Amino acid sequence: MLAVSGLLPLTALGAGRLGPRRRFSFDRLREQARALAGRPYAPPAIANADLLHGIDFDTIQTIRFRPEHTLWADAPGSLGVQLFHPHRFAQKPVRVYLVDDGTAREVPFSTDLFAYGTPGLARKLAHHGGFAGFRVMDPAPADTDWLAFQGASYFRSSGPQGQYGLSARGIAVNTALPQPEEFPDFTAFYLEQPDDERITVYALLDGPSLSGVYRFDCRRADPVVTEVHAELFIRRDIERLGVAPLTSMFWYAENNRQRAVDWRPEIHDSDGLAVWTGAGERLWRVLEAPPMVKTSSFVDVNPRGFGLSQRDRNFEHYQDDGAFYDRRPTVWVEPLGAWGEGAVQLVEIPTDDEIHDNIVAYWTPREPVRAGSAWTFDYRLYWGNDEPVMPAVARVRHTWKGRHGIPGLAASQAAALPAGIKFVIDFAGGPLADLEQRYDLEPVVSTSRGRIDNAYVLKVVGTDRWRAAFDLYVDDAGADDPVELRCYVRLDDRTLTETWLYQYIAAPTC
C-alpha cells in the first residue's frame, strides 16, 4: 500500500485556489450536525437555478473536469478525485474540503476547473456556490473512476467489472408512503488524501426531518468495500426510516418476459433481493415491475445481511453491448453490530422503461423514530459480482412462469382446466452439486391463497441444476391482492436450498 504524505494537492489546484485553513475533526462535524437538527430546516440556496435547469443530460456530457486539476494527481500511485459540475438533476451546491493534519481547506467552485462545450456557459456560471459531488479515479495513467457521490445522498461504485448500476443512499425517509418522500442532501464532503487503494470521506447530511454525519472508508478491491458509520439526529418524527438504502432498476427478466416491448431478452440492474436473516435462513425474493407500488416487509431481528443482486451474468441473456447489464454489480449490506428488531423492506414501483429507478431496499427499525432522538448505524457495503458470503445451501438460478398443466397438452384439454399458472425454479450449488438424479427430493411450496398442484423436483439433464415446478390455481384471478409464494427443496428433514419467494399478481393469463 502506498504511504500517504499528508500534503494537500497544491500542485493540481494551486495554493491560491484553496480556502483558508479551518479546524476539523469528526467530533466537530458531529456537533455541527446535532446543532442543525435543533434548528428549523433551511434548504440550501441555489444560485443560477434557471441556468442550471438548462444543463440537461446531453449538455452535461459536454462539460468535462480538466484532468490536470485532478486532486492528488501529483502523488505517484495515488487515487485521484475529480469534481462534478452542477446541472439540472443536481442543482444544490455541495462544498468539498480537503483534510490535512486536523485542518480542512475548501475547494471553491471555479469554472476554470472545467472544459465547456457550450460557448459562454462558463462566464454565466462564474459565481456558483458549489459542486454537484465528486468521483474517485484509479491511479494515473488510468482514466477510469470507481466510486462517485452525486445528488441528494446518492453514491455508487462500478464494482470489479467497471460498470455502474444500482446506487446506495445515505438514508431514506418516508419511502412509498402517501406523503412525499424526502431526499436529504450531503451538503459538504471532507476528503482525506487517499493512497493507492483507499480513501476516507466524511460527510454532513441535512434534510427536512433529520441531519447527520457520516464516515465512509472506501477500498478499491474485488469486491469494492465501503464501510459506513452514520450518526443521525432527528428533527421531527419520521414514519419510515430506511437504513442502508439501495436503489436499483428492474423492468423485465425471465420471470415476466411476457410484458416486454423491447427486443432485448432482459433489462435490469438487479434481479433479486437476497436476505440472510438473524436466524440464519437465506431468502431469495425475485423482483417484479408490478402494476402498482408494492412494499414487502421481511420482519427480522439482527439481520446478518441483505442486498440487491445481479445473479444472471450471461451476456446472451441481455444482448446489450452498451449498457452491459451482465456486468452491473451486486450490492450487499452487512450490518456491524446488533440492529435489533425491524424489517428489510422491498419497494417495487411500476415502470415502462429502463431509465427509471423503481426498486428500493433498506432496513427499517421497529422502534419509532421520534424528534429529538439520535441513531447510530454501522455497516459495510460490498460492490461485487455476487454476495460476499455464499450460503451452505443451493441458490436460485432461474425463475420462469407460464401456462399450467402438462407441456404439449391439447388446446381443448388445456381449456377445460381451471385458471392457473406454472412456476419453474432452478436451483444449483450447495448440497445439490454432488447429487445424481433421484426422486425423493421434496419441493416445499406454500401460498397465501389458492392451491398448489403438480409439484415436483428433478435434476435438469446434462446440467448441474435441479428444477422445482408447480401449478398455482387461484379462484379470484384478476384480484389486486397479490399471492405470496414460497418454495424450497428438502430431503427428509434436511433443507437443501435457500427459500424462493415470489409475489404474484393474479390475472386470467400470465
> pLDDT digit string (tens) for 369-387?
999 999 999 999 999 999 9
Q: What is the mean pLDDT of residues 41-58?
A: 93
Give per-residue pLDDT as tens, 242-251.
Answer: 999 999 999 9
Taking the mean position of all CA atoms in its chain, how far away is CA 426? Answer: 25
Q: Give, in order, the Cα–Cα distances in Å from 168 to each of 150, 246, 378, 388, 389.
A: 11, 4, 15, 17, 20
Helix-then-strand count for the chain, H and E: 6, 34
Percentage of the chain with pLDDT > 70? 95
Residues in Cβ contact with 11 at an 8 Å cutoff, skipping those fewer than 6 apart: 73, 74
Give per-residue pLDDT as tens, 322-363.
Answer: 999 999 999 999 999 999 999 999 999 999 999 999 999 999
Instruction: Give the chain's domains with CATH numbers.
Output: 140-384 (2.70.98.10), 395-504 (2.60.40.10)
d(CA 169, CA 192): 21
Give per-residue pLDDT as tens, 94-112.
Answer: 999 999 999 999 999 999 9
Query: Is the overall model pTM greater than 0.85, yes or no?
Result: yes
d(CA 98, CA 346): 37
Residues in Cβ contact with 228 at an 8 Å cutoff, skipping those fewer than 6 apart: 214, 215, 216, 244, 377, 378, 379, 380, 381
Give per-residue pLDDT as tens, 194-240.
Answer: 999 999 999 999 999 999 999 999 999 999 999 999 999 999 999 99
* Confidence band, pLDDT 50/70/90 cuts, at residue 17: confident
Burial 110-123 (b: 16+ CB within 10 A, else e): bbebbebeeeebee
